[in-house]
Amino acid sequence: MKKIAMFGICGKMGASMARELIKEKDMDICAGFDMFRIGEDIGSVIGYGRMLGKKVSGTYSEILDLRPDLIIDFTNAQAAFKTSKWAIENNMDLIIGATGLSKDELKDIESAACKSAAKIFVIPNFAIGAVVMMKVSGMIAKYFDNCEIIELHHDKKKDAPSGTSIFTAENIAKHKIFNDSRLKDGETEVLESSRGAFTSGVHIHSVRIPGCLAHQEVIFGTSGQTLTIRHDSTDRLSFYPGLLLAIKKIESLSNYTYGLDKVIEL
């Protein structure tokens, strides 16, 4: 039985994933961690329909006393970075689902993890379809002359661009660099930043609007044609198969792994 502590259990993602993990016969949500609803029963917090006899904790020491086999973090970038330091110091395995961590923070986490017995798995997107989209985008990039990304998320998302769009651009750049600069020679913006963000030779345009959950289009163009690859997550349950895969694979990984693509083969 794998004992799991869910960090950010009061949030939409943490609660929805905890409700599914409870159904697994070989897994046990032994603890919840959050800054809200501390002391309340986990069953009530996640809307499970009955009490589970386990409370939401608000301190690391309470989690440490329960000694979970794995921590899953769906908090935010700032909290996840702090938790990663604590987990590594205590040699505890950690899956980070929080997005918005900077490159410097990720390098810091990797450096610390590689000097410990902890395994840290950072996953910007758990949707297997989205991961396939990223991998396929890299595979076909060499056949086109340019590429842009449009990512759409709900209006409560804190970071922009999304971690998924940045990771997609970086993966494309491993195969082909489309642009050396954000604006081409002679190109001007009538409105500042109208050409969007720019990383790894790819423009990224972020949409934040009610009614969306998580969506992304990768648009490739060349003479006389375009190719659009689109992925849509319309329910948070779309992330569960990827989370389950990550839980089952983390023990076979190195001390630091970034991206669910590392455990998906095409």
**Catalytic site positions:** 153, 157
CB-based burial, 12-44: b 16+ in 10 Å, e otherwise: ebbbbbbbbbbeeeebbbbbbbbeebeeebbbe
Helix axes 12-21, 240-249, angle to 10 degrees: 70
Give CA–CA dist 4/79, Å, rounded: 18
Residue 235 token pair: 């329910």
* Cα within 13 Å of Cα(71), Cβ side: 31
DSSP structural state of residue 114: T
Peptide bond into 210 cis (omega under 30): no
For residue 93, the tally of other CB atoms under 10 A from its CB is: 23
Q: At what angle do helices 77-89 and 103-113 cross, to 10 degrees?
A: 10
Query: With contact defined as beta carbons under 8 Å apart, do 86 and 60 qualify?
Result: yes
